[in-house]
Each structure stands twice: as structure tokens, then as C-alpha cells.
Amino acid sequence: MNIDHYTYRVTWSQEDSEHVALCAEFPSLSWLAPTPEKALAGIRRVISEVVVDMQAAGEAIPEALAEKKYSGRFIVRVPSLVHRALATEAAEQGVSINRLVSAKLAT
């Protein structure tokens, strides 16, 4: 497992008055530090240690989001009034509901 392929994010935590680093594949883990660089280094170190521990325990290691294959298809349930409004808007624009919703999600 290459931890370089995981999805990391560093943001400012007003509550902690420090930068917080997160890893999408390990949502329960974080690292606080005074600089973004130190926060990123800290979470990467934690992830590395956790992966080693999980391997030693024979646990399944999360797949990196960047390495997953996506079909481009998912199902979303919406209230019937929302469905009607989307169908109307799509018809007025001369596109399918799928194309309309895809465009809305992309913005």
C-alpha cells in the first residue's frame, strides 16, 4: 500500500488555532500542527503507522480513492416535487434529466 496515493487535505482549525490535516480514507484520524507542512507530515506519519499496524493484524487496508474505479453511475432518491422540477427544467433546456443533474453537480 502506497500512502502517497491517499487523499490528504490541510485546513485551518479556528477552534484549535492550528492547521489540521485529514485523510479521506481514514476519516477518524487527524493531525494538528502550527504550519500546513507540519500538519501534512504528521498525518502522513500517522497513516503510515496505522497501515503497518493494520497489515500486522491482518486487517483490510482502505483502498486509495485515487486508485478506485468509478462507473460514473449512482442512484439518488429525491422527493417527487424535485423530480418534477428537474424534469421540467430539463425539458425546457432540451436535455435529459441526467445531463441537467450532471451539469448541476459539476458546478
pTM across the whole model? 0.75
Residue-level pLDDT at 91 = 95
Question: How many Å apart are CA 105 and CA 85, to the nearest integer?
Answer: 16
Q: Which DSSP string do the residues of 16-45 spell out, in sequence order?
A: TTEEEEEETTSTT-EEEESSHHHHHHHHHH
Residue-level pLDDT at 36 = 98
Sheet with strand 18-23: strands edge to edge = 8-13, 18-23, 30-33
Return the CATH number of the domain spanning residue range 3-66: 3.30.160
Average pLDDT over residues 76-85: 96
Average pLDDT over residues 77-102: 96
| C-alpha distance across the termini of the chain, in Å | 33
Is 43 exposed, middle or buried, given 0-12, 13-18 or 19+ CB atoms closer than 10 A? buried
What would the pLDDT profile of 45-67 be if each residue is shown by its tens digit?
999 999 999 999 999 999 999 99
Is 100 exposed, middle or buried, given 0-12, 13-18 or 19+ CB atoms closer than 10 A? middle
Task: Tell me the domain boundaries of the chain.
Answer: 3-66, 70-106
